[in-house]
Structure 1
């Protein structure tokens, strides 16, 4: 049986409170309070069995007869094996859940928010529109986010830990690039051994009393095409020659472009989005498929 996960925060960092002023800065980071602890003060994860609870309930379709990319080409395999960095989407990829949907359900706005999430992931509405609508519906307070993380810890997808370990053993750097929120992602990153500086995601903002103050619109991932921008920045900042993007949604597919990801691998083990999978360089339903092709 897996041993318990222990994510401890020895002390709570004080919240940074913006000074009130009659003239407000346009920068969202000056409008509200952020959670400053690198793992977020509420990041109490329960035992490993709770994190992966229900993981084996995910049905993995062994193949999709309409997909020609179930078997990777020689060029795709060569690129995969020679990657310098792999960028993972988080929701429905690294974990089984859509974090914002979980938070919405916890806050009593589940159904309406799930509909917006579906629109965002299929690319039928601009991502920034969907994100703004969802946060307006949820209005999560700091305490609600803390309670949600404690009572509904994220369920890590089967095989992702093994894949990340294999990538690291091959000296391939791992990043998390998500349209979700850092507060929800940091506990998972900690458990998977991914440093917080390798997270590219959105940031919730809170007022002086911990009330919702929206999100930081300056984060690239808060906008359509933001994941592509984030991957381009990762590549440029580190000088990587070959970068791979792995995810399940339209925003992940967008990352495959000149200067961004060289390959887009669709992970359909949680959500099968046919329009996205059909355009991928390689579609997999199990992370073991990717592990098997690494030296």
Structure 2
């Protein structure tokens, strides 16, 4: 734990997962509830987050069940603003005051993540996420499978890209799921987060596991 805290204090970049970490809920699960497909999608999300099926398999299955149109997504975003996790705004603000670059690295979709980034004053260029594709009439046409975050190991790939591009020496990954844990290495440290949901595999394998972002703020002080 002390080693992780030391890397955090020296951090030049911090990557946050979004669903169940930056926000209280899983974005795709909330969209599924809105589309009347909540139960079957939540089961697939749990399998993916627990590591019992590959992320690509889970994402493909979930999106093929949902097939949300542009209109449906706009309605969803208007009626269901995301709930930020307690303390996340303070963590991001504290990091920014220390000149630490903050990224959102998520298997969720940019159209859902962008409003969350705006709430936290994180620039669009610092979002690494999936992108939905639509036909000219606004109907769902799949997702961009070229995005690293659309597949297992994608978050590790994003971290590698960031380190190569910007030369970060102390990059920290923070998240609740198996896909976040597997991004370290190449991340220099991983903080498991269980403030919204505790995933036992992550709790067991994380060198530092927190259930309140106040612990991260205190470590930075």
TM-score (norm 1): 0.74
Q: Give a deviation string over 1:178-212, Cα, whole Å, max 9, x none.
A: 00000000001011010000000000111010000
Name the residue aligned to 1:199.
127
For residue 240 of structure 1, give the secondary structure of its aligned residue in structure 2. coil
Shift of 1:76: 2.0
The reply on whether 1:113 has 2:113 as its aligned counterpart is no
**For the Cα contact (< 8 Å) 2:4–2:191, is it kept in 1?**
no
In structure 2, the residue matched to 1:83 is: 11
Instruction: Report the counterpart of residue 293 of structure 1 in structure 2.
Output: 219
| Greater RCO (Cα-Cα under 8 Å, separation 6 or more) | 2
Number of residue pairs aligned between Structure 1 and Structure 2: 221
**Does the alignment pair 1:278 with 2:204?**
yes
- SS of the counterpart of 1:278? helix
For 1:197 and 1:88, the matched residues in 2 are separated by 14
Aligned to 1:57: none
Distance 1:76 1:163 in 2: 16
Alignment of 1:220-239 (within 5 A): 220-239=148-167
1:277 Cα deviation after fit: 1.2
Any conservation in 1 of the 2:4–2:190 contact (CA below 8 Å)?
no
Give deviations 1:42-83, integer Å, cap 9, x for gaps.
xxxxxxxxxxxxxxxxxxxxxxxxxxxxxx22x222111001
Q: RMSD between aligned alpha carbons?
A: 0.7
Supply the distance in 1 between the matched residues of 2:171 and 2:207 (Cα, whole angstroms): 13
Structure 2: give runs of 5+ residues left out of the alignment: none
Partners of 1:281 and 1:142 in 2: CA distance? 41
Q: From 175, 185, 188, give the equivalent of 2:103.
A: 175
5+ residue gaps, structure 1: 1-71
Structure number having the greater strand percentage? 2
Indicate the structure with greater helix content: 2
